[in-house]
Amino acid sequence: MTPEEIEALFTRESGEFLFARWGRPIVPIVFGVEDETLSTVKGAFEAVVTLAGHKMAETDPELGVNCMVFFFRDWKELLDVPDLDRLIPDLAPLVGRLVRADANQYRIFRFEEDGAIRAAFVFLRMDKQLSKIPAETLALSQVVQTILLWSDTAFRTQSPLAVAGETTILRPDIAALIRAAYDPVLPGSAQDASHALRLFARLEPPQ
């Protein structure tokens, strides 16, 4: 992966470079799935967090949980979730936009004062397209897209996952980049594109 390719993964459609990683241990909670899928999603979190060299925790002392994953059939179901409108201001207009766009997924991040990721909300509307994807693949894809603040265009043309034999895995170049991004020497966030060079310098060759 070249510095230019890394820079593109964190450059938004508006042209703004924006990098952020989690600044606190991740405490995920999953809504709307059966126990079997719940363990699959939690397993994906554990795998990606371990890869990053980051931490998970049972509870966040300030927020309780800081990464909420919602599975549902209709965007309007979100309007019935107790207190969600307190966590996400302008929830009703957002739901309206997502309905009009016929979107099947959406992620919202909250940030610390230093710009690192503080919390994340992941919404998955299980339409025909998402329902065809195996739970392991869907969980891994979503966790990878939540472990860093990627560009809004980062995986539009190429998935962060790859297929090896009959197994879906994280692409080795993306795995190496996630590891580099969590180097303790690096800051939790950056808005200067030169950060891509610092990430590039820390890439380990794929095993």
pLDDT in tens, 57-72: 999 999 899 999 999 9
Give the span between the Cα atoms of 22 and 86, in whole angstroms.
Answer: 22
- Spans of the chain below 50 pLDDT: none
Q: What is the pTM of this model?
A: 0.92
Contact by Cβ (8 Å): 69, 81: no
Give the span between the Cα atoms of 202 and 207, in whole angstroms.
Answer: 15
pLDDT at position 205:
64
